[in-house]
Amino acid sequence: MLWMIWMNRTVATLCVGLVALLGDHVVAQNSLPRVVRAVADNFTHGAVGLLSWHIVTVHLADLSVTARLWEVLLCGLLASAIDLDHFAAARSLRIEDALRLSSRPFLHCTSVPLAVSGIMVMVAHIFCWPSLHRLSWIFVVAILSHHLRDAARRGLWLYPFGSIPPIPSAVYIVSCMLLPHLLPWLVWRTRVVPQPAPMHSVVVL
């Protein structure tokens, strides 16, 4: 049983690296139309996010297969949906306009969504909402896996502290492969334990 869990994590981690390499290879093909490369880039973000949360759930091993599947799909969808801010910033639904932006759109700022996620985790604790806690961490994995991959081209935008210059491809790929192995500890440490319902006092006359 343990070796199956180990195998699952190892294969998924290798898949993160392979998917990232393959996606980058397609995106680098200048002979392909820009739209095709943008779609391939977005699918790669989604696949890396999906695989990353899968690894997190294998580490945590605290949910049913169905619940894990929904979470994995959600993380992949969020990692992919981050690029929708290109359309919002361009105020256009045309992919050509979205690709022509002169500055990075708001969801590509790493520090602000991470701060928002931190607040969401705190709110989850205050109101004892385990599902909000879980959603916050899914959001963190979607954001970080997407931004680390983008960082190879544009660096990391850490408002209000400035930006980090582009990082080597090998560094981003290794970071994406390590991320889902490092975060489960934080997810577990910050977990929301549902409080038992208060016992009603019985007044004996």
Contact residues toward Zn ion (CB under 5 A) are 83, 150
As measured in angstroms, the least distance from the Cβ of 15 to Zn ion is 20
Q: Which residue number, 71 or 83, has a Cβ lying nearer to Zn ion? A: 83
As measured in angstroms, the least distance from the Cβ of 185 to Zn ion is 27
As measured in angstroms, the least distance from the Cβ of 40 to Zn ion is 13
CA–centroid distance for 91 within its chain:
25
Rounded Cα–Cα distance for residues 130 and 121 (Å): 9
| Paired residues of 164 in beta bridges | 156
Sign of CA dihedral 179, 48, 83, 69: negative
In the three-class reduction of DSSP (H, G, I as helix; E, B as strand; rest coil), residue 195 is classed as coil
Nearest residue to Zn ion, using CB? Answer: 150
Q: Which residue number, 24 or 83, has a Cβ lying nearer to Zn ion? A: 83
φ, ψ of residue 157 to 5 degrees: the values are: -100, 110
Q: Which residue number, 90 or 192, has a Cβ lying nearer to Zn ion? A: 90
Burial class (CB within 10 angstroms; exposed 0-12, middle 13-18, buried 19+) of 131: exposed
In the three-class reduction of DSSP (H, G, I as helix; E, B as strand; rest coil), residue 28 is classed as coil
Q: Which two tokens stand for residue 183?
A: 């975060």
Q: Which residue number, 24 or 150, has a Cβ lying nearer to Zn ion? A: 150
As measured in angstroms, the least distance from the Cβ of 105 to Zn ion is 8
Rounded Cα–Cα distance for residues 97 and 111 (Å): 26
As measured in angstroms, the least distance from the Cβ of 49 to Zn ion is 11
Q: Which residue number, 57 or 80, has a Cβ lying nearer to Zn ion? A: 80
Residue with tokens 């969401």: 120
As measured in angstroms, the least distance from the Cβ of 41 to Zn ion is 8
Q: Which residue number, 54 or 146, has a Cβ lying nearer to Zn ion? A: 146
Which has the closest alpha carbon to 45: 86, 10, 6, 7? 86
